[in-house]
Structure 1
């Protein structure tokens, strides 16, 4: 891009993250250079910045990088404010189970589509649907439904972008795109019978719901074996159409769902370990670090920020901020707000987190047991891992309960105030635990002063009972947490259960919940041997 506002060094840095989209086994420096077209020296410098910001994690023994939890925490403010996910999740899960497929909410990101919520009963071998998964527009039912329902000017703009990016694909699929528009008018949905993945047939319907100027699409994918002739049009499409109508009705009658039920307030970006190496890094790495700092400024409490506010928070000049925000918009990571002057996170941030979520195999292993335990205990069961000074939720299962909506995927929870954080500290080696406590003392002294005395008590509780408990994050929620005794897939997890309890649980109740968690964790540890 020739625009002087475009910071190519920031774009190069973000292209490193894009290289991980289909890298289940991680990537070496050399592989990253090959995929991004950058030199190995540039890759090394940029990866240092990404590791410092938590966007990548490095396994020295394997000599490989993986997407880190920082990518997930960047996506959290966007996901947390997408209240439609909470309204739609339960009916989506029911239809997924009934059809034996996957039901997803999808949004457009420039010339591609991105999953922002998905419920599955049967996952195809060729694709692991998950939050942040990226789909092509022309070959998929979701993309065709978006194009078929777009205003003419917007559709023409996107088709022009597709023509510039992939003219051969547009020429090949243009008849199907035209047919999709006709199908939407006649039958109320669009289809893709194996046009993207041969073993997946899909149906999609645009929802009459707007989120920050973006339209949502409801998609159903089923294995080809379950999409016999006539079933896609005669059963799956009509049932998805009914689900779309139900979701739209429930959304209109539940405006409070537009706000997150719980805003997780973990360690703020201002108390995170500073990326000290970035200050003396080459210009390319420094620009990347500043761009990542800009994205980290957005929170559920601060969803819209202007250049002036961003410049103050990130500590850069207004002129520099103009270049950074312009570039982040072009990369699909920020969008201009329609309702207020400034910018907000865009769906492209969610796509950054997909490689991490897709490669955390423990999430797939744990999900059925977590759902069953949530139903049994009547609470929210969550899986988390440590990130800097806090714990990050990577999976949550809960029953429908209007009194309590737990923090969503990507939420950062304070280490010292939560049962999950205390359980992680209890299971950590003494030297690792003390090093983290020292960081909290220096970088978040208020947190240390308020909850530091609870750590020795938590260690004793864990030694005696095998779990930690806490009511300190929310006084009406009692949480019990159990740490995995060994890493699974190179990651140490903690499982947590939060119960709505205005009064403290009895010792017997805590023991029952703790025992159920320990049983589930022990079974998962057996399954994860070899991961």
Structure 2
């Protein structure tokens, strides 16, 4: 089972004088909880943050007192509290694009018997913030909160294509520091998606995220530039062969995103 480790270290905190180190460390604790693992103990948090046990204990109890963590007596472990859930729902509720896109996504998902999603970047992954899945394809579902890789998924490549040139350079610089040994492959994968986007108007991922999964992606960028998202149409390779992605579902997804852009401007 995969686990999630915090990506900010005490050393990096100290180099940025604008950061409040106690706040940054508290956020590190919250960031330790993956979607597939509800309960974590003090020792789990120590191992995942690299912070001293006494520091972790104080931070955990501060978060507990303020509702960001809860404590399960039977397991003697912490879990995310209602305040965190409330923040998440507030963020999702403020994304008007989700509500406007939902019926169009549902129509496309039913047409191709696959899944249509929206994702935003969270470090080196894309986080699903909306999804519509065909009732005909119950075995392939990616729910809100699911994650896919940035570089090998159509959604991640679409996000990359939605960035300005300077933003892409900044992202590549960040990724080169985060995963230096894999950076060459990540950069080449993202650039391949950009080349596809320039030629076709959408990105492809044919068996690159998972060998039996194909997808097409289209970027969405808000008019004010504050939101860059990736839309995708994703499903089993037998359901979405490459030819159909290029000839049918890529153009259909592009049309969905264009209609969403128009609806957002008119709202």
**Please, what TM-score do these two structures have when normalized by structure 2?**
0.82
Match of 1:147 among 160, 168, 179: 160
Preserved contact between residue 103 and residue 220 of structure 1 (Cα < 8 Å): yes
Match of 1:172 among 176, 185, 189: 185
1:156 matched to 2:156: no
1:213 matched to 2:201: no
5 Å matches for 1:113-512? 113-121=126-134, 122=137, 128-130=142-144, 132-210=145-223, 213-253=226-266, 255=267
Preserved contact between residue 33 and residue 39 of structure 1 (Cα < 8 Å): yes
Pair 102,174 (structure 1): closer, same or farther in 2 beyond 3 Å: same
The CA deviation string for residues 469-500 of structure 1, in whole angstroms up to 9 with x for no partner, is: xxxxxxxxxxxxxxxxxxxxxxxxxxxxxxxx
In the aligned structure 1, how far is the partner of 2:204 from the partner of 2:60? 41
Match of 2:43 among 9, 18, 30: 30
Q: Which residue of 2 aligns with 1:374?
A: none
Q: Which residue of 2 aligns with 1:347?
A: none
The CA deviation string for residues 350-389 of structure 1, in whole angstroms up to 9 with x for no partner, is: xxxxxxxxxxxxxxxxxxxxxxxxxxxxxxxxxxxxxxxx
Q: Which residue of 2 aligns with 1:69?
A: 82
Q: Which residue of 2 aligns with 1:86?
A: 99
Greater alpha carbon shift after TM alignment, 189-198 vs 224-233: 224-233
Pair 123,151 (structure 1): closer, same or farther in 2 beyond 3 Å: farther
In the aligned structure 1, how far is the partner of 2:210 from the partner of 2:28? 25
Distance apart, 1:110 and its partner CA: 5.2
Distance apart, 1:55 and its partner CA: 2.0
Match of 1:43 among 28, 35, 56: 56
Pair 201,82 (structure 1): closer, same or farther in 2 beyond 3 Å: same
Preserved contact between residue 172 and residue 187 of structure 2 (Cα < 8 Å): no
Corresponding residue SS for 1:230? helix
Distance apart, 1:241 and its partner CA: 1.7
User: In the comparison of the two structures, how many residue pairs are matched?
Assistant: 252
Preserved contact between residue 47 and residue 56 of structure 1 (Cα < 8 Å): yes
Distance apart, 1:165 and its partner CA: 1.0
Preserved contact between residue 162 and residue 228 of structure 2 (Cα < 8 Å): no
Preserved contact between residue 206 and residue 215 of structure 1 (Cα < 8 Å): yes
Distance apart, 1:159 and its partner CA: 0.8
Preserved contact between residue 214 and residue 241 of structure 2 (Cα < 8 Å): no
Corresponding residue SS for 1:113? strand
In the aligned structure 1, how far is the partner of 2:110 from the partner of 2:149? 25
**Please, what TM-score do these two structures have when normalized by structure 1?**
0.44
Q: Which residue of 2 aligns with 1:104?
A: 117
Preserved contact between residue 214 and residue 242 of structure 2 (Cα < 8 Å): no
Pair 107,248 (structure 1): closer, same or farther in 2 beyond 3 Å: same
The CA deviation string for residues 205-254 of structure 1, in whole angstroms up to 9 with x for no partner, is: 0125336622232122213342334233233222212212222232233x
Distance apart, 1:35 and its partner CA: 1.8
Preserved contact between residue 149 and residue 206 of structure 1 (Cα < 8 Å): yes
Corresponding residue SS for 1:210? coil
Pair 184,229 (structure 1): closer, same or farther in 2 beyond 3 Å: closer
Preserved contact between residue 130 and residue 143 of structure 2 (Cα < 8 Å): no
In the aligned structure 2, how far is the partner of 1:211 from the partner of 1:104? 22
In the aligned structure 2, how far is the partner of 1:10 from the partner of 1:134? 26
Distance apart, 1:38 and its partner CA: 2.4
Corresponding residue SS for 2:54? helix
Pair 151,97 (structure 1): closer, same or farther in 2 beyond 3 Å: same
Structure with the greater alpha carbon radius of gyration: 1
Pair 22,72 (structure 1): closer, same or farther in 2 beyond 3 Å: closer
Corresponding residue SS for 1:74? helix
In the aligned structure 2, how far is the partner of 1:65 from the partner of 1:123? 33
Distance apart, 1:128 and its partner CA: 4.3
Which ranges in structure 1 are unaligned for 5 or more consecutive residues?
256-531
Q: Which residue of 1 aligns with 2:23?
A: 10
Corresponding residue SS for 2:151? coil
